[in-house]
């Protein structure tokens, strides 16, 4: 995986960036390690941590369940001066279009439509619940500054309350990038659509 590209594209000029490579066996360890780092920053609202921790785990798990590849990469950075948390999870697997196409319902889906639909509730390739990216999109609507899903030759970009899908180079696999403000208190239950928040009882 081209980690240099990811750093240059999404974390250029930033210091103290954390990079973790994970597989199915180390996924939970990396999740706990990143969360421990986040909770060490008292500037981050607890409600943001609760919602973010759920979404982060789901995105890590997506790599294991849907990508078809054993390894993923997680990159995180917290800017305490600006109250901005940046989180990226990437894989070099089959990509969102090919994954969704494994479900007969989306067999002929285009790459653009796959990106558009992957953040909708219950849209899945059949291996999961289709809720992780939906919850993440709800988090972004609450406190998101910048949200990007890059898969194949297209990017979904959510910024300033607007969503667009553009042609933008090629990434074999999927990149999920989130840039959120951490000083605003939110209701985590709204992010998960009032369903049970898991993986957060340690916060």
pLDDT single digits (tens) 51-105: 999 999 999 999 988 888 999 999 999 998 999 999 999 999 999 999 999 999 8
- 111 Cβ partners below 8 Å, 6+ apart? 95, 96, 97, 151, 152, 153, 154
Q: 104-111 long-range CB contacts below 8 Å, 24 or more apart? A: 111/151, 111/152, 111/153, 111/154
Strands 162-181 and 84-91: antiparallel
Kindly state the tokens that stand for 168: 């933008």
Q: What is the pTM of this model?
A: 0.91
* Contact by Cβ (8 Å): 74, 22: yes
Domain architecture of the chain: domains with CATH: 18-183 (3.30.565.10)
């Amino acid at each position: 995986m081209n980690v240099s590209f990811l750093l240059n594209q999404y974390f250029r000029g930033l210091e103290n960036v954390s990079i973790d490579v994970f597989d199915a066996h180390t996924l939970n360890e990396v999740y706990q390690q990143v969360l421990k780092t986040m909770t060490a920053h008292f500037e981050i609202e607890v409600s943001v941590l609760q919602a973010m921790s759920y979404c982060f785990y789901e995105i890590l798990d997506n790599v294991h369940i849907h990508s078809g590849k054993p390894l993923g990469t997680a990159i995180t950075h917290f800017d305490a001066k600006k109250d901005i948390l940046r989180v990226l999870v990437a894989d070099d697997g089959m990509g969102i279009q090919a994954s969704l196409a494994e479900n007969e319902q989306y067999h002929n889906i285009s790459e653009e439509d796959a990106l558009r639909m992957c953040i909708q509730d219950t849209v899945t390739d059949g291996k999961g619940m289709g809720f992780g990216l939906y919850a993440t999109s709800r988090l972004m609507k609450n406190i998101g500054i910048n949200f990007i899903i890059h898969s194949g030759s297209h990017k979904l970009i959510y910024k300033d309350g607007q969503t667009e899908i553009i042609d933008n180079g090629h990434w074999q696999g999927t990149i999920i990038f989130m840039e959120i403000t951490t000083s605003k208190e939110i209701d985590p239950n709204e992010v998960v659509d009032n369903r049970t928040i898991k993986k957060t009882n340690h916060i």
